[in-house]
Amino acid sequence: MDASISQNLTRQTHGGTLLLTSAIIAALGSFLFGFDTAVISGTTERLQELYSLSNVLKGLTVASALIGTLFGAFLVGRIADRWGRRPVLAFLAVFYLVSALGCVVAWDWWSLLFFRWLGGIGVGGASVVSPMYITEIAPSRRRGLLVAVSQLNIVVGILAAYFSNYFVARVMGAEHPDAWRWMFAIEAFPAAAFLIASLRIPESPRWLVKQARRTEAEQVLARFGHENPAGEVADISESLASELSQGHQRLLQRKYLKPLLLAGMIAAFNQLDGINAVIYYTTDIFRMAGMDKTSALKQSVMIGMTNLVMTVLAMAVIDRAGRKSLLLAGSVTFVLSHALAAWVFHTHAQGWIVLVAMMGIVGSHAYSQGAVVWVCINELLPNAVRAAGSAASCFLIWLLCIGVTWGFPVVAGKPDDQAAAGTSAAPAFAFFAIMMVVQFVLVWKYLPETKGVSLEELQKRLGVED
């Protein structure tokens, strides 16, 4: 009896280690997501000089990766269903690697745009597949924490990009003509590590069941330390019965309408909370509030640290507090923070109050929408259409991201015209505050709590019947 207990504990410990390792490896896709998004921030001035770019073309250069994300998010769902989650993760790593090396050797502006676009495909694909894979391998009691690793890695990737840009500038000199190429080159190292490591993790057990490979699925679940692999495989098989008997399931059909609308709601408010207006234009916002460039860059560091600290806090409580509770609490602090920001720019207030408002917005996103979005979308979508539904949701996120990123400076005005900008930025933050009121009402009324519930049970609760 004692030997049996000891063997069981050893198996669970080993399974827990493999589970955590696989989640971390999958989340490297999210790390590169954050890194690739932020690394260009250190290169824009040099690129504008090198290629004689107007402000419009400079904006297109920055947005080229975002355009690629639409392609990645749109196309990856069906590919992940056909090939499996693991090989697609490795395939996305190739995109990151080629993009990084391509930017290093870019021979003109058009080639740079192309390689940045390729990196964007990797970002869009990783935003779908990395959290999806983690959702499908994690036990229900640890799913929120493990999927939140994806969001943490996005935040860490952003900070790593800022740090590596600073490191290159210090080593080579900020004015070195090739410094920008080395800033892009550093991404090749984590991309190569992601490629090698992703080939060594087990395949998703739910994808294996979809391929009628039940024995392999049970073995994978057992390796991950799940308590009842055979029972879980039976539940997964039951939830997929319609697909396995009738072939490919269309996403747009009545029985999937409720979970798809809920996932779309979470995806939409992930951008309508205004986070990317702050993240992409942090320095400009502080300059609008009257700070000089040096002070604005210093305050941006504080914003980045707030993002990291609140993300870690969310990871610690997401499986206890629940997804719905975090979204509701976040809606309240969002409204207060955006209302404060609107007041700041309406009254031309300056000083510490500006930093408080921005930290409030970023912190609210980090512990609510930022931590919940990738968990909730993949929990809400049924097994049969999770890949396609997740791809559609991420496509919506990236589409709205482009809208917010391009729209905010148009509404807020030019940062050099502080009086006009201060006046026009207020309605932008007021709009985001109203959106968070709407989020509170819709989440409170319609979103079910998903913590601690198996994916198959959630499917039944949402009224999806085979």
Share the mean pLDDT of the chain.
78
Q: Is residue 277 part of a domain?
A: yes
Asked if residue 403 and residue 277 are part of one domain, the reply reads yes
Predicted local confidence at residue 440, as pLDDT = 95
Instruction: Please indicate, yes or no, whether residues 437 and 321 belong to a single structural domain of this protein.
Output: yes
Asked if the structure places residue 229 within a domain, the reply is no
Query: At 97, is the secondary structure helix, strand, or coil?
Result: helix
Identify the pLDDT of residue 1.
Answer: 46
Task: Answer yes or no: do 138 and 266 share one domain.
Answer: no
Q: Quote the CA–CA distance of 289 and 266 in Å, as a whole number.
A: 31
Return the higher-pLDDT residue of 5 and 261: 261
As a whole number, mean pLDDT of residues 75-101 equals: 86
pLDDT classification of 287: cutoffs 50, 70, 90:
low
pLDDT at 140 exceeding the cut of 70: no
Is the per-residue pLDDT at 101 higher than 90? yes
263 domain-assigned: yes
Does residue 211 sit within a domain?
Answer: no
| Residue 111 shares a structural domain with residue 47 | yes
372 and 447: one domain? yes
In this structure, the answer to whether residues 453 and 323 fall within a common structural domain is yes
Give the ranges where 203-292 is alpha helix by DSSP (H): 205-210, 214-223, 229-239, 241-246, 257-272, 275-280, 282-288
Q: Are 302 and 166 within one domain?
A: no
pLDDT tens column, 17-38: 777 888 888 888 888 878 887 7
Q: Looking at the predicted structure, is the pLDDT value of residue 415 above 70? A: no
Residues 159 and 263 in one domain: no
Residues 318 and 429 both lie in one domain: yes
> Is 49 part of any domain?
yes
- pLDDT score recorded for residue 422: 44
pLDDT tens for each residue of 196-227: 988 888 888 888 888 778 788 888 778 777 77
pLDDT at 143: 65
- The reported pLDDT for the residue numbered 332 is 94
Q: How far apart are CA 126 and CA 133, in angstroms?
A: 10
Angle at 80 between CA 76 and CA 82, to 5 degrees: 120
- 188 and 297 housed in the same domain: no
Label residue 418 by pLDDT band (50, 70, 90).
very low
Confidence (pLDDT) at 14:
52
The domain boundary residue, chosen from 144, 169, 201: 201
**Left (φ > 0), alpha (ψ -120 to 50) or beta: where does 252 sit?**
beta
- Whichever domain contains 137, its CATH number is 1.20.1250.20
Look at the block and give the residue holding tokens 């985001």: 432
pLDDT band, very low/low/confident/very high, at 52 (cuts 50, 70, 90): confident
Confidence label for 64 from pLDDT (cuts 50, 70 and 90)? confident
CB 64 within 8 A of CB 116: yes
For residue 437, what pLDDT is reported?
A: 95
Is the same domain home to 184 and 261? no
Q: Count H helices, E strands: the chain? A: 22, 0
Last residue of a domain, one of 163, 184, 201: 201
Number of domains in the chain: 2
Q: Are residues 268 and 391 in the same domain?
A: yes
Q: Minimum mean pLDDT among 104-118, 169-183, 370-384, 416-430: which range?
A: 416-430
Q: 1 in a domain, yes or no?
A: no
The candidate with the shortest Cα–Cα distance to 127, out of 178, 77, 189, 78, is 77
Does the structure show a pLDDT above 50 at 181? yes
Q: Which residue has the higher pLDDT, 423 or 350?
A: 350
Mean pLDDT of 181-201: 89
- 217 in a structural domain: no
**Residue pLDDT, tens place only, 348-375:** 777 778 888 888 998 999 888 887 887 7
Of the CA atoms within 13 Å of residue 122, those in its CB half-sphere come to 33
Name the nearest CA neighbour of 27 among 162, 154, 164. 154
Closest CA to 381 of 208, 214, 257, 466: 257
First-to-last CA distance in the chain?
A: 42
Q: Which amino acid is at 156?
A: V
The domain boundary, picked from 201, 227, 259, lies at 201
Domain that holds residue 365: 250-466
Is residue 378 a part of any domain in this protein? yes
User: CB-based contacts of 91: which residues, under 8 Å, 6+ apart?
Assistant: 79, 83, 125
**pLDDT attached to residue 338:** 92
At 213, is the secondary structure helix, strand, or coil? coil
**In this predicted structure, what is the pLDDT of residue 419?**
42
Amino acid at 352: W
pLDDT of 78 > 90? The answer is: no
390-413 pLDDT, tens digit per residue, is 778 878 887 888 888 777 766 765
Residues 6+ apart with CB under 8 A from 157: 30, 31, 32, 33, 34, 35, 36, 37, 38
